[in-house]
Amino acid sequence: MGATLSFIRDGRPEGSVDLEVSRKYCLGRDRAVDIPIKSHGASRRHCEIDGTPTGFFVADLGSSNGTLVNGVAIPGRTMLKTGDFIQIGDILIQFQQTEDEEEEVGATIMMRPGGQVVKPPVQPVGPAPSPVGGAVPVVPVGPANPYAPSAQPMAPQVPVQPAAPVVQPTAPPAAPAIPVVAPGSSPALPALGGPMPGVGPRRRASRDLELGQVIKGFKIVREVDANERGAVYKAKRLANNEAYAIKTMSLTRGDPVQIKRFVRGARKGAELAHPNIIRVYGMGATETFAFTIMEWVEGESAKERMDAVGFRGMMDPRETNEIGIQIAQALELAGDRGIVHRDIKPETILIRKDGVAKLAGLGLAKSFQDTFEDEGLSVAGQIVGTINFAAPETLVDPNSVDHRADIDSLGAAMWGMLSGQPPFQDISYAKTFQRIQEEPVTPVRQINMSIPDQMSDIVGRAMAKHPGQRYQTMAELIRDLMLARGVFPKR
C-alpha cells in the first residue's frame, strides 16, 4: 500500500510525489523538509503526513495559516481518504491511496495517479460481454499525467447508436480505459456534475440499471433520483468498496439537446479541479444509455436542508454565509477558466455531513468561447436553467452572459436559503419572468429579521438588475462574505 500526492496551483497540475508506508513526511517552505511547498502561505514546517499500516494521517505542525482538508481546518491528526484535498497556502494537494497489487475494474485499464498504466489480462479481439448487456466502453476522462514519462495520452472514443446526436460512433477499443482524473487537466470527454439527491425519486417504467447490477466493476446499490431521461445511482466499487455516483442519460428516451448538454457538461466538469466542485472520473456508453462515474457526496442538497428546517425553510445565516464562500470559491475557478455555470440553485449545491459544500449540475455550463459549440442548445429568447434563480440577462440571451450571471444566481440561491423561498415567484411563469426583469429584489432581511444587515446588503448587491451594478468578480464577493463572518456572535 502506498499513496500519491498530486499538486495543483490555480487549477493546473504541478507534479506529484509518491508516499511510502512506515515513513513520515514533513511539508513546508523550508528547503530541508521532505516535501518543499512553494507558497507564501506555507510555514517553514507546515504539516506532517504519516504513512502507517492502517492508513495515511496528516497533522498540522502549528503553521501560521493552518492546514485545510477539503476546505476545513483540521483540529488535529486526521486520516486521509482517497480523493481528499489538502490545502497549504495557494497549493491544493490531492491525495490518492494506491494498492501494491494490480487491481482490475472489469475489462478496463486503470490509470494510477502519476501516470502508471495497469494492464488487464489479454482479452480476445473484439468487445467483451458486459453484465449490463452489450459492450460497455468506458471513456478516459483525460490525458495521462504529463509528468510521468511512461504515460501516453489516450484518444477517447464514445460508441453510441447512430440515431443519437451526441458524437459519431467509432469502433470500441479492445481494452477501454477508465483513468483517475489528472487534477486540472483538460480531458477530451469527462463526466458530469454530481449526485442530485434533492427532489425524490420519480420512477420510470424501465430503468437503465437495476439494483445489484455490476457495470465495469461498480455495483449498483441504490437509485437516488430518476426521471424519464435518466437516473442517478449510488454504486460501490468492487475493488475497494468505496462509494461512487453513476449518472445515466438515455440515448433512446433522452431529448437530443439534453444528450448534447450531458456530454458538454461532462467536458466542462472535468476541466475544473477544486474541493468545492463535484469530482468526475469517466464516461462510457452502452447501446441504450450513456453514463458518467463521479464523486459520491454523503449528505444532502441545500434544497433538502431547507425542507428539513421546517415549514418556513429558513437556513441558519452563519451556515449560509459559509456555503456561499465555498461555492463562490468554486465559481471563481470556473470564471478564471472562462466557464459560466448558468444553473446555480439550492438543488445544485450539495452539503456534505462535515459542512463542505459541493457545486453540481454542470449540464448547462458554457465557456465564453462556446459560440459555435452552443449553437442549437440555447438561443436568444430560450430560457436555460431554473427561472426562479436565474439572472435577468440569462432569460433574454443565455449565450451573451458572463461570470456576473453566476454572481447573481449565487446571490439568488443564498436569498432562497435565508428566506425559505425563491426571490421571485408569481402565479404564472410569465409574471415571474416579468418580475425578474423589472422588480428590484426585496432585501432578504425584511423576510428574515435574524439576518445581519451586512449580509443582507451583500446578497442584494450580488442580485443587482444590471450586471455592472453587481460585484464584478467572485473575489470581491468572497472578500465581503469573509468580512461578514465578523458580524456573527462567537460560538
Domain boundaries of the chain, sorted by first residue: 2-96, 134-143+156-295, 301-487
C-alpha cell, 93: 494537494
Output the pLDDT for position 254. 57
pLDDT band at 75 (very low <50, low <70, confident <90, very high): confident
Q: Give the three-state DSSP class for 130.
A: coil
266: confidence class by pLDDT, cuts 50, 70, 90:
low
Whole-angstrom distance, CA of residue 203 vs CA of residue 225: 8
Pair type for strands 23-28 and 35-36 = parallel
Farthest-apart Cα atoms in the chain, separation: 69
CB 350 within 8 Å of CB 297: yes
Q: Identify the CA nearest to 178 among candidates 76, 231, 106.
A: 106
* H or E stretch at 419: helix 403-419
pLDDT for res 166: 37
Hey, how many other C-beta atoms are within 10 angstroms of the C-beta on 15?
Answer: 13
Do 21 and 11 meet the contact criterion of CB atoms below 8 Å apart?
Answer: no
Question: Which residue would you say has higher pLDDT here, 250 or 266?
Answer: 250
pLDDT at 366: 58
Q: Tell me what pLDDT residue 476 has.
A: 96
Better pLDDT: 455 or 98: 455
Integer Cα distance of 281 and 182 in angstroms: 9
Look at residue 382 and tell me whether its pLDDT is greater than 70.
Answer: no
Q: What is the pLDDT of residue 255?
A: 62
Nearest to 321 by CA among 479, 484, 446, 477: 484
Q: Which fold has domain 301-487?
A: Transferase(Phosphotransferase); domain 1 (1.10.510)
Region 34-41 average pLDDT: 90
Q: How many CB atoms lie within 10 A of CB 376?
A: 11
CATH of 134-143+156-295, one of 3.40.1350.10, 3.40.50.11030, 1.20.1080.10, 3.30.200.20: 3.30.200.20
Cell of 51: 504513512
Residues facing residue 78 across a β-bridge: 58
Q: Which long-range contacts (CB under 8 A, 24 or more apart) does 53-59 make?
A: 53/1, 53/21, 53/22, 55/79, 55/80, 55/97, 56/3, 56/19, 56/80, 56/95, 56/97, 58/86
Other beta carbons within 10 angstroms of residue 64's beta carbon come to: 10
> Mapping DSSP to helix (H, G, I), strand (E, B) and coil, where does residue 401 land?
coil
- What pLDDT digit, counting tens, does each position of 126-159 carry? 333 333 333 334 444 443 333 233 333 333 333 3
> In the chain, what is the straight-line distance between the N-terminal and C-terminal CA atoms, in Å?
41
Residues 195 and 350: beta-carbon distance below 8 Å = yes
The mean pLDDT value of the chain amounts to 74
Give the separation between CA 287 and CA 51, rounded to whole angstroms: 44
H/E run at residue 485: none
pLDDT confidence band for 280 (50 / 70 / 90): confident
- Cα–Cα dist 271/339, whole Å: 9
Whether domain 2-96 has CATH 2.60.200.20: the reply is yes
Report CA-CA distances (Å) from 221 to 135, 156, 176: 22, 28, 24
- SS3 of 325, please? helix
The side-by-side arrangement of strands in the sheet containing 85-88 is: 12-20, 2-9, 91-98, 85-88, 68-69, 72-73
Buried-state track 478-487, b at ≥16 Cβ within 10 A, e below 16? bebbeebeee
CB 214 within 8 A of CB 136: no
DSSP helix/strand/coil, 459: helix
Which cell goes with 5?
500526492
Give the SS3 label for residue 460.
helix
The reply to whether domains 2-96 and 134-143+156-295 share a CATH topology is no
Helix (H, G, I), strand (E, B) or coil at 301: strand
What's the rounded Cα separation, in Å, for the pair 12 and 40? 18
The predicted pLDDT at position 253 comes to: 67
Q: State the pLDDT at residue 153.
A: 36
Q: Does residue 487 register a pLDDT over 90?
A: no
Q: Return the residue matching grid coordinates 449565450.
A: 399
Average pLDDT over residues 320-331: 95
As a whole number of angstroms, the distance between CA 345 and CA 422 comes to 9
